[in-house]
Amino acid sequence: MAQQLSYKPRAGEIPTNPGVYRFRDAAGRVLYVGKAKNLRARLSNYFAPLHTLHERTRRMVTTAASVEWTVVASDVDSLQLEYMWIKEFDPPFNVRYKDDKSYPFMAITLGDEAPRVIVTRNRRIPGAKYFGPYPKVWAVHDTIDLMIKVFPIRTCSDASYRKAMVTGRPCFPGQIGRCGGPCSMRVTIEEHRAIVDDFVAFMAGGDQRFAKELNARMREASAAMDYESAAVYRDRLVSIDAVLSKSALVLAPDTDADLFGIAEDELAATVQHFVIRGGRVRGVRATTIEKELDITGGDLVDQVLQRAYGDAPVADIPRQVLVPELPDDAADLEEWLRDRRGKQVTIQVAQRGRKAELMKTASLNAQQALIVHKTRRTSDYVARTQALTDLQEALGLAEAPLRIECYDVSHLGGTNVVASMVVFEDGLPRKDQYRSFGVAETTDDTDSLHQVLMRRLAYLDRPEEQDEPVPDPTDDATVATTRKRPRFAYPPQLLVVDGGKPQVAAAARALADAGHEEIALCGIAKRLEEVWLPGEEYPVILPRTSEALYLLQRLRDEAHRFAITHQRRRRRRDISSVLAEVPGLGQARIRALLRHFGSVAALKKASQEEISELPGIGPKLAAAVYAHLSDD
């Protein structure tokens, strides 16, 4: 049996967010659905050496042919989505979770004299009102614990209730204030029934009127200086807020919608299509789109909707379509969908509430999918080989550029100027060879680029005979060997700069000044993804689906990311060093100042009084900070 599963995701592909994962077999059938607070940590357990896995787990992972995951905003969302998909797909390896039983419900026994709230799997209690189902029993208990703080209805058993009726002594929940006490007549049966009705009304719709009423009572009690009552109302409000913050993955029961989360860059886009029926996410469809042309977000949404519903059965067209951006012809699309469905269809942007939260979840999943797509495409050997070959032909190189270096300059309003160098070998990033440069004095980006390249190219001229001799630890005799030449001294076959004609001209001047004109050079301009060569009047236009253009874009984006990271790190260090010079100002107060004002520039504009208002910063220390920044 092979110890390595063929479908194991590559390192770094799995996000560390909470989410739900699904194992599928070769036919696409869902074998197992699970949840995790950290998807990467959880899924890594399944890809441990096979002989270390439990027999049942080993059988599942070897039967599976793929694994996929959906990122969610919170652990509660992962619980809800896990439940939905276990019910939806009935995975064969989830029998331990299901345990051949139905899922737990919250039930209010309205047929009883004094109704109570219970957790049950029995759907046949006469006159009971049910809420749920819930994915876990503890989730029901947590909800009940929050609710009875606001609506103290009965939770005791029928036997305890009857005993309390006979003795006149409240049951235990009644003694600790978790029940109004109808059994001991501390409240009447009618009063208790009214509390039960409010409980049911709240659970049925999350009625905000209860929160408003409690808030008004709390303010009235506080105004009357009845602080004990105000504290009780405050605690009940906290419980109300906890219950009202329901999962964004569960919408109103009559919600019939499709929601599209989209992430894109210049060359590709990923779409996460959430299918919502009966208020629940019934499925997720993921699509990757290679963009032939540079189109707007609205045009992309237009194409996505046409592709999703062009050949779809009428039953798959929902009442509502939620998108991140409205296309220009949204009205025409609505009419087209209405004609196909035979009923009204609306296309809207989710702007607030649970639908907006769900849109964030879908967009987050789309972003994760785009990252995975780009990583896999770069890591694919055939695609990398094609990219290097296409690049060789497009730039007229004598051989494929196996080592490529890309440079980018970053600054903040002309200050904290830094540059980055990233290295790709055989189409893959070599992060151990990345370098960053500080630029002390410069006139503009082209001057900065020239300086950095001159410093980097100087390493190519260091003779190998000057390398430091080191003893060979494997030889008994005293033998001197030459230290292996550092990779930083290896010349690239292609040098790429982030920018257009001016940046390429500056880089070409540096190559000429350093005497290394044999190194090929090009620049990639971000707006239109044009490739510029030195001395050329017009750019090279690569097809947007070209692997060569994709590789250049990865290089440019990686150089930009690395430069920005280094520039921010330096800026934070500089800011801290400026404030650290103030006597009596420690790191904790420095962090507090920066967190409150956002930057040293904003802090410089603040008055001494505004600085002193910050907790922990007294008038004397505020005066010292103000004086130091004024002199700076």
What is the predicted pLDDT for the residue at 473?
43
* Arithmetic mean of pLDDT, 540-546: 78
Q: Which two tokens stand for residue 121?
A: 């799997």
Alpha helices in 581-607 (DSSP H): 587-597, 600-605
Residue 481 pLDDT? 46
Split at pLDDT 50, 70, 90, the class of 406 is very high
Please count the CA atoms within 13 angstroms of the CA of 520 that sit on its side-chain side.
19
Closest CA to 504 of 519, 479, 523, 480: 523
Look at residue 469 and tell me whether its pLDDT is greater than 70: no
Q: Hey, which residues does 497 pair with through a beta bridge? A: 407, 523
Instruction: Specify the pLDDT at position 136.
Output: 60
Query: For the packed helices 501-514 and 445-457, what is the interaxial angle rounded to 10 degrees?
Result: 30
DSSP designation for 275: E
pLDDT in tens, 385-403: 888 888 888 888 888 898 9
The type of residue at 546 is S
| 428-435 contacts at long range (C-beta below 8 A, 24 or more positions apart) | 428/378, 428/379, 428/384, 429/378, 429/554, 429/558, 430/487, 433/487, 433/488, 434/562, 435/488
Long-range contacts of 507-514 (CB under 8 A, 24+ apart): 507/407, 507/449, 507/450, 507/453, 507/534, 508/534, 508/535, 509/450, 510/449, 510/450, 510/453, 510/454, 510/457, 511/453, 511/457, 513/454, 514/453, 514/454, 514/457, 514/458, 514/460, 514/461
Q: Virtual CA dihedral for 308, 312, 315, 318, nearest 10 degrees?
A: 20
Q: How confident is residue 458, by pLDDT bands cut at 50, 70 and 90? A: confident
pLDDT at residue 1, rounded to an integer: 46
d(CA 332, CA 325): 15
Q: What is the pLDDT of residue 139?
A: 63
How far is the C-alpha of 512 from the C-alpha of 507, rounded, in Å?
9
164 pLDDT more than 90: no
Q: Which of 131, 136, 161 is nearest to 147 (CA)?
A: 131
Choose among 286, 110, 282, 125: nearest CA to 203: 110
State both tokens at 542: 């690569």
Q: What is the pLDDT of residue 543?
A: 78
Mean per-residue pLDDT for 203-230? Answer: 74
Query: Is the distance from CB of 114 to CB of 189 less than 8 angstroms?
Result: yes
For residue 116, count other CB atoms closer than 10 A to its CB. 22
DSSP-assigned letters across all residues of 508-567 = HHHHHHHT-TTSEEEEEETTTTEEE-TT-SS-B---TT-HHHHHHHHHHHHHHHHHHHHH
Kindly state the tokens that stand for 520: 């090929």
Least confident of 110-114, 174-178, 319-323: 174-178
Secondary structure element (H or E) that encloses residue 574, with its range: helix 547-580
Report residue 204 as tokens.
């049925």
For residues 388 and 278, the model is more confident at 388
Q: Which of 28-32, 250-254, 433-437 has the lowest mean pLDDT?
A: 250-254
In angstroms, rounded to a whole number, what is the distance separating the alpha carbons of residues 573 and 351? 38
Per the model's pLDDT, the better-predicted residue between 141 and 345 turns out to be: 345
Residues 6 or more apart from 403 whose CB is under 8 A from it? Answer: 423, 424, 425, 490, 491, 492, 493, 494
Percentage above 90 pLDDT, the chain: 12
Average pLDDT over residues 22-37: 89
What integer pLDDT is reported at residue 575 of this predicted model? 55
Comparison of pLDDT for 112 and 570, the residue scoring more: 112
Give the highest mean pLDDT range of 186-195, 461-470, 600-609. Answer: 186-195
Pairing of strands 469-471, 435-438: unpaired
Rounded CA gap, 35 and 79, in Å?
7
Residue 409: CB atoms within 10 Å: 28
Number of Cβ atoms within 10 Å of the Cβ of 442: 18
- Which residue do the tokens 């964004």 mark? 248
Say how many CA atoms lie within 13 Å of 318 toward its Cβ.
Answer: 22
Q: Which of 206-210, 236-240, 267-271, 447-451 bottoms out in mean pLDDT, i.e. has the lowest?
A: 206-210
According to the model, what pLDDT value does residue 523 have? 93
> From CA 622, how far away is CA 296, in angstroms rounded?
49
Peptide bond before 133: cis, by omega within 30 degrees of 0? yes
pLDDT in tens, 480-532: 444 455 556 678 999 999 988 899 999 999 999 989 989 999 999 876 678 99
- What band does 208 get if pLDDT is binned at 50, 70 and 90? low
What is the amino acid identity at position 567?
Answer: Q
Asked if residues 21 and 81 have their Cβ atoms less than 8 Å apart, the reply is: no
HSE-up (13 A, CA, CB side) for residue 88: 19
pLDDT at 478 over 60: no
Specify whether the CB–CB gap between 235 and 220 falls below 8 A.
no
Q: Give the H or E element holding residue 409.
A: strand 403-412
Q: What angle (nearest 5°) sits at the alpha carbon of residue 292, between those of residues 290 and 294?
A: 105
The DSSP result for 419-461, as a single string, is: EEEEEEETTEE-GGG-EEEE-SS-SSHHHHHHHHHHHHHGGGG
pLDDT of residue 384: 82
CB 459 within 8 A of CB 488: yes
Structure-token match 């959906």, residue found: 70
Residue 24 has pLDDT above 50, yes or no: yes
Give the rounded distance of the alpha carbon of 66 from its chain centre. 22
Model confidence over 565-585: pLDDT tens digits? Answer: 876 676 655 555 566 667 777
- Domains of the chain (ranges plus CATH)? 19-98 (3.40.1440.10), 105-205 (no CATH), 256-377 (3.30.420.10), 381-461+489-568 (3.30.420.340), 581-631 (1.10.150.20)
- 103 has a pLDDT exceeding 60: no
| 80 CB-side CA count, 13 A | 20
Mean pLDDT of 329-351: 87
Q: What is the mean pLDDT of the chain?
A: 78
Higher pLDDT, 347 or 288: 347
Residue 379: predicted pLDDT: 67
Q: Give pLDDT, residue 421.
A: 92
Q: How does pLDDT run across 75-90, given as a tens digit for each residue? A: 767 766 877 787 788 8
Spatial separation of the C-alpha atoms in residues 130 and 29, rounded to whole Å: 32
Q: What is the 3-state secondary structure (H, E, C) of 221-245?
A: HHHCCCHHHHHHHHHHHHHHHHHHC
How far is Cα 237 from Cα 203, in angstroms, rounded to an integer? 15
209-213: which pairs have CB atoms within 8 A and are 24 or more residues apart? 210/150, 210/240, 211/237, 211/240, 211/241, 211/244
What pTM was estimated for this model as a whole? 0.49
Pairing of strands 256-264, 320-323: parallel
The DSSP output letter for 137 is H
Whether residue 214 is predicted with pLDDT greater than 80 in this model: the reply is no
